[in-house]
Chain A
């Protein structure tokens, strides 16, 4: 087969064009926010928020309002509830997160099971369908994604300081508490925007994997963000080709490509790669 045609053929289809743009946008957005998720240890909270949006999506679907709105309302509601439970009780924070996100997700499933023919659509929500994105959805993704990216870009000094050393940053006068709330809000927007592309279950992978891969390779914050974004964009492209030619689920293909990059970096990365360690004869110690 003609290699040029091999590369261009898939994008003769409009759904593939939209899918590609959406997958790259979501990948880059998730990788940028994922840098904070990885460095602040927010992976579990990201996963929780993603699952917690589910009842909101279902109710929005039933009411015929945009899914983003339903998802965002549910995400904020559950986040506030988690905060309230964590403050009131004697429970650890991650315990209240676990209880409430599972409960919220179950509530979504129960609501969904009342809808006729629910199984096929349910899978669409859970694993996403980036190739099913229409122009209106795409514009929403681009708009919200651009807002998040611009805010992160403008505040990246302050977000870096507050993430690295919250006490030192607060003592020097930066509004650390407000920056942390802002970061969580941006994370919430990112998750809701990404769900349609990659589904509730795999959003956390999009957030964590490219950023984690980058952290294995580079030693600067800006580089980690940029490399994570580049890896995510590349994974989106490769994943969509695999999805097209091998007839694989699109979101899962993208996540698998990201995971492969991670495994390669783990083995070969200059900072903590297994080979680099063997070369330095430091069998198990982190550098």
Chain B
């Protein structure tokens, strides 16, 4: 991978200021969007823009609407108010340019498919109905497996893999789709440190190549160290901007309803969140775009 090394102890404070601000065209527009499940509101009046080349972490407590935001952009659910534009069109129109990675818990790991077959699914939308995979598809699948370090496991059943290997395989499926936009629901949750670093290396390379990467995460340290932008959600958008500005003690406290402990450490901070408390009323949302640059 080509990205510069990021030490495990490197801290928000010592991180260079916004070296990676995306300057590509706007690929995702979320404009005044609300969504609800039945009578329970999931997101209220969220607006943000994401540019090509972004590596954006969506952060917030459980139930904050992180997955809902991804599903809105993917066109899997419809907003109750507001407007979403993806690659210049309503969600779903440019579906072949989107790769969506579901949460690990949403997958039946006893399902009789091999690693190779799962990654090949990334090619299905391109292939079209009734068409069998061709040589170019097999090459893309092999390349994607190589990129995530899973080439040796191609014929294994997915249930035989470790949690980290499963995330690698699903990321390979996303790569095989050759998308412009990655929508990743908890891509690095519950994986070992090595896998997390490897997967983030891959995502960073994709962002540098001009793709748009949006990922939800519970891991604030990963968000601070590896993502370029962050969006804080708590039913509303609390803040969106460069990760080093947004991952701020006060804004995090606002996002997590005060249940955040920020410990000053040796040049770094340890942030603990209590994911079950998120009922505080959020204040005005903050954007750190052009003004902050």
Q: Which residues of A contact B (CB under 8 A)?
A: 39, 154-155, 157-158, 160-161, 164-165, 167-174, 215, 218-221, 223-224, 271, 286-287
Report yes or no: A287 in contact with B159, Cβ–Cβ below 8 A: yes
Size band of the B side of the interface? 35 or more
| Residues on the A chain within 8 Å of B177, using CB | 172
Report yes or no: B129 in contact with A165, Cβ–Cβ below 8 A: no
Query: What's the Cα separation between A168 and B108 when bound, in Å?
Result: 13
Interface: B31 (CB within 8 A)? no
Query: What's the Cα separation between A155 and B177 when bound, in Å?
Result: 19
| Residues on the B chain within 8 Å of A170, using CB | 74-76
Report yes or no: B114 in contact with A219, Cβ–Cβ below 8 A: yes
Report yes or no: B96 in contact with A173, Cβ–Cβ below 8 A: yes
Chain A, residue nearest B74 (CB):
A171
Contact with A172, one of B107, B118, B125, B129 (Cβ below 8 angstroms): B125
| Residues on the B chain within 8 Å of A39, using CB | 108, 111-112
Pairs across A and B, CB under 8 Å, 29 listed? A39-B108, A154-B130, A155-B129, A160-B113, A160-B121, A161-B121, A164-B121, A165-B107, A165-B121, A167-B76, A167-B102, A167-B106, A168-B101, A168-B121, A171-B76, A171-B95, A171-B98, A172-B96, A172-B98, A173-B96, A173-B98, A173-B125, A174-B124, A215-B110, A219-B113, A220-B114, A221-B112, A221-B113, A287-B159
Query: What's the Cα separation between A241 and B108 when bound, in Å?
Result: 39
Task: Tell me whether A154 and B101 are in contact in the complex, defined as CB-CB below 8 angstroms, given that A165-B107, A220-B117, A224-B112 are known contacts.
Answer: no
| Residues on the B chain within 8 Å of A164, using CB | 107-108, 111, 113, 118, 121
Contact with B129, one of A154, A167, A223 (Cβ below 8 angstroms): A154
Query: What's the Cα separation between A172 and B181 when bound, in Å?
Result: 11
Interface: B99 (CB within 8 A)? yes
Report yes or no: B159 in contact with A218, Cβ–Cβ below 8 A: no
Interface: B160 (CB within 8 A)? yes
Query: What's the Cα separation between A154 and B117 when bound, in Å?
Result: 17
Report yes or no: B114 in contact with A172, Cβ–Cβ below 8 A: no
What does the 1/0 interface line of B169-195 toward A look like (CB < 8 Å)? 000010001000001000000000000
Interface: B157 (CB within 8 A)? yes
| Residues on the A chain within 8 Å of B122, using CB | 172
Which of B78-134 touch A at CB < 8 Å?
A: 92, 95-96, 98-102, 106-108, 110-114, 117-118, 121-122, 124-125, 127, 129-130
Report yes or no: A169 in contact with B129, Cβ–Cβ below 8 A: no
Report yes or no: A172 in contact with B124, Cβ–Cβ below 8 A: yes
10 nearest CB pairs, A to B: A173-B95, A171-B100, A219-B157, A171-B74, A172-B125, A173-B125, A161-B121, A224-B112, A167-B102, A154-B130
Query: What's the Cα separation between A172 and B119 when bound, in Å?
Result: 13
Contact with B113, one of A167, A220, A286 (Cβ below 8 angstroms): A220
| Residues on the A chain within 8 Å of B114, using CB | 219-220
A95 to chain B minimum Cβ distance, whole angstroms, is: 18
A210 to chain B minimum Cβ distance, whole angstroms, is: 14
Report yes or no: A286 in contact with B121, Cβ–Cβ below 8 A: no
| Residues on the B chain within 8 Å of A221, using CB | 111-113, 117
Q: Select the residue from A171, A173, A215, A223 with max chain B CB neighbours within 10 A.
A: A171
Task: Tell me whether A171 and B183 are in contact in the complex, defined as CB-CB below 8 angstroms, given that A155-B129, A219-B157 are known contacts.
Answer: yes
Chain A, residue nearest B67 (CB):
A167
Task: Tell me whether A218 and B124 are in contact in the complex, defined as CB-CB below 8 angstroms, given that A171-B75, A172-B98 are known contacts.
Answer: no
Query: What's the Cα separation between A160 and B96 when bound, in Å?
Result: 18
| Residues on the B chain within 8 Å of A223, using CB | 112
Query: What's the Cα separation between A219 and B116 when bound, in Å?
Result: 12
Query: What's the Cα separation between A271 and B124 when bound, in Å?
Result: 28
Contact with B102, one of A154, A168, A219, A271 (Cβ below 8 angstroms): A168
Query: What's the Cα separation between A169 and B99 when bound, in Å?
Result: 9
Known: A168-B121, A169-B121. 14 other contacts (CB 8 A): A39-B111, A161-B121, A164-B108, A164-B121, A165-B121, A168-B100, A171-B183, A172-B96, A172-B98, A215-B112, A219-B112, A220-B114, A220-B157, A221-B112
